[in-house]
Structure 1
Amino acid sequence: MKTLPEKILGIIQELPEGEVLIPGRFLHLGARTAVQRGFSRLVEDGKLFRVARGLYVAAVETRFGVRPSAPEMVVQSLAKMRGELIVVTGARAANNLGLTTQVPVRYVFLTTGRSRNIQIGNIVVSIRHAPRWLMALGATGAGDAVRALAWIGEPSAMRAVARLHTVLPKSEWQALESAQESMPSWMTDAIRAQSNRS
């Protein structure tokens, strides 16, 4: 007969990588204290990582050994669980959009929720509250463009907007144009100038 930790692990192994787990989701297997002990045992055995108080993610087994889940996947799962928007920072968005070759080395995300840190194995992930205007277009190409422009700053805005006009799909560019009233004036000026040129 399987032990409680083995039963928990059996369920966890069927879930997608990075899914954030809470012990309360497993109460159908036993009493809360027993489930909590089962989670603790799985952490000790290297099968789970505790990312924050009461939050866990499964270790990923590969042919090279065990590794933590990808931070991006954990953050996506956390956003879904908490019902908040969590997106990449302007630096990462600028890199993804080809506006810079700099690759951020730290894992930092922006959120509509509260600021906090989580730890996935040895990786510290920073989740920082961002102003409403920076998050207004959500997790879209246009939203990434706004965050990238905010990171790049006013002096390079015209050049960055010209590049964005070529890489963003037409629908994302139109979304960017339609959200100008929520942006700083320098950003609006750069977008409007590009729209007038095209």
Structure 2
Amino acid sequence: MQRLTEQILSHAKGLPEGTPLAAKSLLHLGSRAAVDQALSRLAERRQLLRAGRGVYLLPVTSRFGTRAPSVEQAVEAIAAQRGEVIVSSGAAAANRLGLTAQVPARSVYLTSGRSRKMRLGKQIVELRHAPRWQLTLAQRPVGEAIRALAWLGPDGAEAALQTLKRKLAPTAFNELVAAAPQLPTWLARSVGKVAHG
């Protein structure tokens, strides 16, 4: 019979890149204590990366050596595994929408789950708990616009909304106007002012 560490590695290699491993998903291979110990041993040997408390990732091996999985793939996999909404931060959204030239220096994502940090190789990814309204329409362009506006705050929202009115497709801007009741008062007021002004 295969040793538990070999069974875990074999299982990990059958998963898509960036899929997190947790002891709970490996209980079919052995007891909780044995699985925890095997995961810890694999991390010490650098055969698995410890991404956070109880979360492990298989490093990606290529002809150039080994590296951590891409941040996007790891974040998507964790969102699917844990049933959380995880999206890019408002700063990243504002940059992508051309509302700021500032490029975020750190990888920060907003989550419906608890705040925590994840280590992917040498990179630290921060997952910050966000209020529900910032996760509204999460994976749509309008959701990105909402996060960008939240990051810009009350002082920068109106000017940014004028830019978004020109940049977004009319249907997307109308979707933003329709989402106004879910937004904080300061943002809903700015959306209404730009939409009907």
TM-score (norm 2): 0.86
The corresponding residue for 1:70 is 70
State the shift of 1:2 in Å: 4.7
Matched residues in 1 for 2:187 and 2:69: separation? 36
Matched residues in 2 for 1:166 and 1:16: separation? 39
- 2:128 counterpart of 1:128: yes
Matched residues in 1 for 2:60 and 2:187: separation? 42
Letter in structure 1 aligned against 2:23: P
State the shift of 1:58 in Å: 1.0
Number of matched pairs? 197
The corresponding residue for 2:80 is 80
Letter in structure 2 aligned against 1:45: R
The corresponding residue for 2:41 is 41
Matched residues in 2 for 1:6 and 1:182: separation? 49
Letter in structure 1 aligned against 2:164: L
Give the direction of change, closer, same or farther, for the CA distance of 1:187–1:27 in structure 2 (3 Å limit).
closer
Name the SS of the counterpart of 1:21 in structure 2: coil
Answer with 157-166 or 187-196: which moved more.
Answer: 187-196
Cα root mean square deviation, aligned: 2.2
Matched residues in 1 for 2:63 and 2:168: separation? 38
Deviations 1:165-189 (A, max 9, x none): 2333444322211011222344334
Matched residues in 2 for 1:169 and 1:188: separation? 19
Letter in structure 2 aligned against 1:61: T
Matched residues in 1 for 2:151 and 2:78: separation? 25
The corresponding residue for 1:20 is 20
User: Mind listing any 5+ residue stretches in structure 2 that lack a counterpart?
Assistant: none
Deviations 1:25-81 (A, max 9, x none): 233333444433332232123221112222111111122211111222222222222
Give the direction of change, closer, same or farther, for the CA distance of 1:66–1:151 in structure 2 (3 Å limit).
same
Deviations 1:73-118 (A, max 9, x none): 2222222222121111110011111212211111111122222222
Following TM superposition, where does structure 1 have runs of at least 4 consecutive aligned residues deviating by more than 4 angstroms?
Answer: none
The corresponding residue for 1:174 is 174
TM-score (norm 1): 0.86
State the shift of 1:7 in Å: 2.8
